[in-house]
Amino acid sequence: MIFLELILGFLKVGCFAFGGAYGAIPLIRDVVLSYGWIDDEMLTYMIAVSESTPGPIMVNLASYIGSSQAGFPGAAAATLAVVLPSFLIILLVTAVLKNLIKNKYVQAALRGMKPCVIGIIAATGLEMILGNCLETSPVTAVSPQAILLTVLLIAIMTGYRFLRKKKLPSIPLILISACLGAVIYAF
Amino acid sequence: MKINILTELFLIFAKIGFFTFGGGYAMLSMIEDHCVERKHWITHNEMMDITVIAESTPGPIAINCATFTGYKKAGFPGALSATIGIVLPSFLVIWLISMFLDQFLELTIIANAFRGIKIAVGLLIADAALTMISKMPKKPLPLAIMTASFLLMLMINVFAWNFSSISLMLLAAAVSVTVFLTKGSGKPKEGGTGK
């Protein structure tokens, strides 16, 4: 039953999506790959699309994955499921349990979860970078184009930060990478 | 009267949802501008409070703010209108894109562009992690948990272990609570002792 799977999968994501915009990505990746809804490649494309379209990444990814599995109703089910936990928790915290967040045991648990999320995000990023530099078809081999692109993009990001003293925003980076990809992979 | 505020909450948050890209913190200044400065729905202090609460609860900070503001202004129906308002635009945009993306990817030049984008996404995620590491408290326990989670998550992915990131987070929470209970705050520890 795909609807039940979507709802359960995205409820899990919604309950544990700590750590801002990027915190949900490893969770969604876990859930999506374990159910086999879409492949890693497509998921990565959708992360980029989510970065470049309005709204929180978590909501965008849930809508897309739901839609890819079961059309509009699937998208609605997944989006509802991913938003429901934070909706209920905020209601609970503001209306009933005003001191829940300040509770020392809750604080201790959160103190453990926050660095864990950072570690998980770092591992996911590193794994994606390394995975991208390998080609899997026809045989597993190092992809020279991917390595060239990785080096170029890191140089652009560091150069921008060095010159402008701030981070290159994600949308320009995605646009630059798209242009470079279209050129480099054309040969 | 009640209907008006519900519609207004929905419309304002739909506008915020439609015009902020990149999610999360990008939305905060717009929420502050509309809900605090223009509409006086919530005070600046309440906005600060909810930002802190949002850090400690799951889900995107923008959705947390919408639920909170809606609730403050018009109770449960208000929370519902504001939350639906902020989610609906991105939902519709993605749903439209999902109908065309597959055909779009069949064009060689687009497929190649996306192969480039794929590399940028990995870098963006790693970069976000580096920023978070630079901002996190440099104390032994958080650093140990972070490092242990990083290594475990890498091994889970590389060796395809059947251990989800959620279990890893619960394990980290358990470790932290245990350390808190035993009061050994400065003691170094191993993060990977579970399962």
Same domain, B9 and B96: yes
The residue of A80, A86, A116 whose CB has the most chain B CBs within 10 angstroms, and thus the best one to mutate to test that interface, is A116
On average, the pLDDT of chain B sits at: 81
pLDDT reported for residue B24: 59
Decide if B123 is inside a domain.
Answer: no
pLDDT reported for residue B194: 42
Same domain, B8 and B97: yes
Decide if B119 is inside a domain.
Answer: no
Decide if B77 is inside a domain.
Answer: yes
Kindly provide the residue ranges of all beta strands, DSSP E only, lying in chain A, ordered along the sequence: 134-135, 141-142
Same domain, B21 and B87: yes
Long-range interactions of A64-71: CB distance < 8 A, separation 24+ = A64/B94, A64/B97, A64/B98, A65/A6, A65/A28, A65/A32, A65/A37, A65/A38, A66/A6, A66/A10, A67/B94, A67/B95, A67/B98, A67/B99, A68/A37, A68/A38, A68/A42, A68/B98, A69/A2, A69/A6, A69/A37, A70/A2, A70/A3, A70/A6
Decide if B121 is inside a domain.
Answer: no
Closest residue in A to B110 (Cα) is: A182
Residue ranges covered by each domain of chain A: 2-131, 133-187
Decide if B111 is inside a domain.
Answer: no
Q: Which residues pair with A54 in a beta bridge?
A: B21
Which member of B90, B114, B166 has the closest CB to residue A16?
B166
Q: What are the pLDDT tens digits along chain A (187 aa)?
A: 888 989 999 998 888 888 777 778 888 888 888 888 888 888 888 888 887 777 788 888 899 899 888 888 999 999 999 999 999 988 888 877 777 777 788 888 888 888 888 888 888 888 888 888 886 666 677 888 888 989 999 999 999 988 888 888 777 888 898 899 889 888 7
Same domain, B23 and B74: yes
Among residues B104, B124, B146, which one ends one of the domains?
Answer: B104
Domain hosting B148: range is 137-195
pLDDT reported for residue B35: 84
Alpha-carbon gap, residue B151 to B140, rounded angstroms: 16
Q: Of A108-112, A114-118, B41-45, B184-188, which gets the smallest average pLDDT?
A: B184-188
Decide if B164 is inside a domain.
Answer: yes
Assess A112–B contact: CB distance below 8 Å, yes or no: yes
Decide if B117 is inside a domain.
Answer: no
Decide if B125 is inside a domain.
Answer: no
Overall domain count for chain B: 2
Same domain, B64 and B7: yes
Q: Between chains, do A115 and B56 touch, taking CB under 8 Å as contact?
A: no
Among residues B87, B104, B121, which one ends one of the domains?
Answer: B104
